[in-house]
Amino acid sequence: MTLKALNFKMDETEINDMKHVAAVYHMTITDLIKDAVSDYLYRLKADPFYKLTSNVEDADEAETAEILESINNLNDDDLSIVSSKRFTV
Q: So where are the chain's domains? A: 11-54
Q: What's the pTM value of the predicted model, to 2 decimals? A: 0.60
Give the type of residue at 17. D
Cα separation of 36 and 13, whole Å? Answer: 17
Print pLDDT tens along the chain (89 aa).
899 999 999 999 999 999 999 999 999 999 999 999 999 999 999 988 888 888 877 778 888 889 889 889 988 888 888 888 888 87
* DSSP3 helix / strand / coil % (the chain, rounded to 5): 60, 0, 40
Give the type of residue at 49. F
Cα separation of 29 and 80, whole Å? Answer: 53
